[in-house]
Amino acid sequence: MRHKNDHRKLGLPSDQRRALLTNLARQFVRVGYVHTTHGRAKELQRVVEKLITTAKNDSLHARREARKILVGHSRSSARPTKALAGKTDLEKLQILQERSLINGEDLVKHLFDHVAPLYAKRNGGYTRLTRTGTRRGDGADTAVLELVRD
């Protein structure tokens, strides 16, 4: 029986599972769809639906909550570090932009500015999960999770 089992473990320890779902969520927000195994897609669907619902309420708290999921922490990484010491302004800007792309800070902005406004009048059901057969290598059931376009 599955009583009080809240989420799928996906055969991974909790830190690896969290990292997997974070990377899948980043990919989903960046592109608009993800092709993965069916179990991972179902678990990702829960995360993304909550993320879009949070993003519809465009507030500082909502942005911090989204950053926790997409970046891994709620603190902005805009503090000067040792990597910026002694660099020119152009080099500093380039380092910060690269770090932004790596950490997913740009994804939070993209989520709030482009994705969430599409679903402002929709009460849930922002994603569609479609089975796509089995994977050739190990026979795992695969699926595509994509944003629903009206």
Whether 62 is in a domain gets the answer yes
Q: Which domain holds residue 22?
A: 14-76+105-147
Whether 63 is in a domain gets the answer yes
Whether 24 is in a domain gets the answer yes
Whether 113 is in a domain gets the answer yes
127 has pLDDT over 90 = yes
- What percent of the chain clears pLDDT 90, i.e. is strictly above it? 54
| Cα separation, 81 vs 130, whole angstroms | 44
**Residue 4 pLDDT class (50, 70, 90 cuts):** confident
The total of structural domains in the chain comes to 1
Whether 91 is in a domain gets the answer no
Residue 33, domain CATH: 3.90.1030.10
Positive or negative CA dihedral for 71, 72, 77, 81? Answer: negative
Residue 89's identity, in one-letter code, is D
Whether 84 is in a domain gets the answer no
Q: What is the mean pLDDT of residues 116-126?
A: 92
| Inter-CA distances, 37 with 116, 140, 144, Å | 25, 7, 8
Whether 82 is in a domain gets the answer no
Q: What pLDDT score does 103 carry?
A: 62
- The partner residues of 127 in beta bridges, in order of sequence, read 147
* pTM score: 0.78
Name the token pair of 108: 């939070």
Q: What pLDDT score does 135 carry?
A: 92
Question: Bigger pLDDT: 89 or 145?
Answer: 145
Q: What pLDDT score does 81 carry?
A: 63
The kind and range of the H/E element at 127 are strand 127-134
Contact 71, 64 (CB under 8 A): no
pLDDT digits (tens, 9 = 90+) for 47-106: 999 999 999 998 999 999 999 888 875 555 555 567 778 888 888 778 777 766 656 778
For residue 59, the tally of other CB atoms under 10 A from its CB is: 10
Angle of CA points 102, 57, 126, to nearest 5°: 75
Whether 35 is in a domain gets the answer yes
- The partner residues of 35 in beta bridges, in order of sequence, read 144
Q: What pLDDT score does 80 carry?
A: 54
Contact 142, 134 (CB under 8 A): yes
Q: What pLDDT score does 46 carry?
A: 93
